[in-house]
Chains A and B, each alone.
Chain A
């Protein structure tokens, strides 16, 4: 069975420890929401797991399907079934979404194996139909001049095409108005019906009105300090993060 295990993970940027002993196991089909105030290491966690070179893993392990991924390059991690939906996706001028995805699909094939172009486009268009994305969209250059909503839809489309086992979604709701948020959430909900496991990072509860998580975890000072179900998110909404901070301070006193 496919499994993503994050074990006692410690992450630093330079000399500064950001994530300090993070533990979580995600099974196929599960949606785990990670909430928490700004600066508690949520985005650091997602980028480091995906292999961003600016982050150093100083302890612990990340195990995908029984194998540690920490020695792998970011592209190897991706080809092993991991996907990071970016908070701020990069622009790639001059490269159309269709060509970008085609290169990504080709990269997953064995050496010497050629991509079947008509099969590829058939799949791309069926995914776009599923996500209700206009076909003209894929002839645009990746994220180049996109609105916030378009960038996030582009991320969701890539996720749909690359069919990862586990997706790390970093602040997918940031910069979206309510309509864009609903469209993006619909896309995620369409994809979660399969075996996809999702780690959903968010600062605000409102995203969870649209993507209902199986588990909610509160992250503070680089680790999970509280876990529960959807009602925990509502409780946070009502009480704010100060309540968590106080509880954390009391526990450490």
Chain B
């Protein structure tokens, strides 16, 4: 363990890499970290994190218990990829920050961190269309602000440390309840070392007009980012939350393992939108789940581009009558990437409905896997599920697998499932080329067409961003 004063620098800016890694997020600036938990994982790591955050004793206890659960749980390689075994937990840095208190204005954010977010366009987006922004740099938020008009409505938008310390009466009740520590090995890891993320509370009846956004940036090499997000929408309230993620490309692997819990109380609506564009050395192992009470609605919109391995299956527990759950997901797996994504819908009350639309694109050696769980027990009636999963393959080496598990019991519920696999054929590319489009433009257009009906449901700014990311990926995939 390093003393608090020791400063550890990030590597020099990465040189622009040609090909598929050439994305907007692939850069890093040298940053001096005031707080560093060192390399490797032990009880001491946990105690260090908890002490710099000045946490209440119950949180340290929660963390230490979670660490034990993490060590006890085996890697889920009996069903998941063996690539997980390549993660060396003792070579990862678990906590790096310049301080625990985010700045409220961009002017106060240290220059070395600010220039990263400016280059990613975050302050500009905030001015244009966001109700609040939190910008996390490695372990902690460097910037966090909510527009006055939203704060006056009683909306709380803080990071996890502040949420648990300043508003325990609101957050403690739901923290770790939607996703218990032992849900899976990586939710346990997150529970042990979590830092950053967003804690949001929307009071009854408040409809937040503009989206709240968090941006998660990994800057350091060999780093693990473990943000923890908890969103509580009280009765009849509405909120849209968007997160973006990037990291520079390093030769060593980086770990991102978040836990996101959503609670939509009676009649509330939560929409959670992710556009991740991780560099392809990132293991992205994220647990996301929401509980929808009576007449509530939770919608996950999940775009997974980049990363070495993503395992993510956003879920909704439909706990109250007439609750609705939806997962719309897009995954793009390029060479050397594996997108193992899907959705979980657990129906636990009558007349609940769920909808899953998953689209995956595999390019070159890229691999896509869809895993879905839909559970409707026998004693329920009037439940409906619709599942569609479509895969698009670009060139013959790509691979796609579908593992739907739909358990619908009883005869008073309905489900429908459709799956398709299509290919961007040589003839289709030739057709577009014969109109003057280059091969890369033709592929981009084919991919954009494939996801078009889904992308149209995204907020404008995000569908534009998604299109740009796809163009970049396709440019890199053609010789």
Interface residues of A (CB under 8 A from B): 50-54, 73-75, 77-79, 83-84, 86, 89-95, 99-101, 103-104, 107-108, 141, 158, 162
Contact = CB atoms under 8 A, between A and B. Distances in A.
A78 B436 contact: yes
Interface residues of B, number: 25
Given A75-B433, A84-B434, A92 B439 contact: no
Interface string B440-451: 011001101111
Contacts of B451: 94
Given A90-B425, A94-B453, A103 B441 contact: yes
Contact of B448 (A51, A91, A94, A162): A94
Contact of B446 (A53, A79, A95, A107): A95
B436 A95 contact: no
Interface centre among B435, B449, B451 (most CB of A within 10 A): B435
B270 to A, nearest CB: 28
Contact of A95 (B422, B433, B434, B445): B445
Nearest to A81: B436
Nearest to B453: A94
B438 A95 contact: no
A94 B467 CA distance: 13
A99 B445 CA distance: 9
A92 B449 contact: yes
Contact of B435 (A73, A93, A162): A162
Contacts of A83: 434
A14 to B, nearest CB: 15
A50 B433 CA distance: 9
Interface in B441-479: 441-442, 445-446, 448-453
The SS class assigned to the B binding surface is: helix
A94 B434 contact: no
B447 to A, nearest CB: 9
Nearest to A78: B436
Given A52-B430, A86-B431, A90-B428, A108 B436 contact: yes
A90 B431 contact: yes
Contacts of B428: 90-92
B435 A78 contact: yes
B420 to A, nearest CB: 10
A160 to B, nearest CB: 13
Contacts of A84: 434
Ranked 4 nearest A-B pairs via Cβ: A94-B449, A94-B452, A95-B449, A90-B431
Given A90-B430, A141-B449, 8 more contacts: A50-B434, A51-B430, A90-B432, A92-B449, A94-B449, A100-B445, A107-B435, A162-B436
A84 B435 CA distance: 8
B437 interface: yes
B445 A103 contact: yes
A75 B445 contact: no
Contacts of A100: 432, 435, 445
B425 A75 contact: no
B435 A104 contact: yes
A94 B430 contact: no
8 contacts: A51-B434, A75-B442, A77-B434, A89-B431, A92-B428, A95-B446, A104-B435, A107-B438
B468 to A, nearest CB: 15
A79 B436 contact: yes
Contact of B426 (A53, A78, A99, A103): A53
Contacts of B169: none
Contacts of A78: 433-436
Contact of A74 (B422, B433, B441, B453): B433
B412 to A, nearest CB: 35
Nearest to B428: A90
Contacts of B107: none
Contacts of B453: 94
B357 to A, nearest CB: 13
Contact of A75 (B426, B437, B446): B437
B427 interface: yes
Nearest to A52: B430
A177 B433 CA distance: 29
Residue of A51, A75, A100 contacting most chain B CB atoms (<10 Å) = A75
Contacts of B441: 75, 103, 107
Interface centre among A74, A79, A93, A104, by most B CB within 10 Å? Answer: A74
A83 B435 CA distance: 7
Given A75-B439, A107-B438, A93 B450 contact: yes
A97 to B, nearest CB: 11
A206 B439 CA distance: 37
Contacts of A99: 445
The winner among B425, B431, B442 for most chain A CB atoms within 10 A is B431
A89 B438 CA distance: 18
A103 B449 CA distance: 13
Given A100-B445, A103-B445, A73 B452 contact: no
A37 B32 CA distance: 77
Nearest to A143: B431
Given A73-B439, A75-B439, A90-B425, A51 B449 contact: no
A74 B435 CA distance: 8
Nearest to A105: B436
Nearest to B447: A94
Contact of B452 (A52, A77, A95, A104): A95
Identify the interface centre among A53, A84, A89, A103: most chain B CB within 10 Å of its CB. A103
A101 B437 CA distance: 10
Nearest to A47: B430
Nearest to B392: A93
Contacts of A50: 430, 434
A117 B432 CA distance: 21
A99 B450 CA distance: 14
Contacts of A77: 434
A158 B435 contact: yes
A158 B427 CA distance: 17
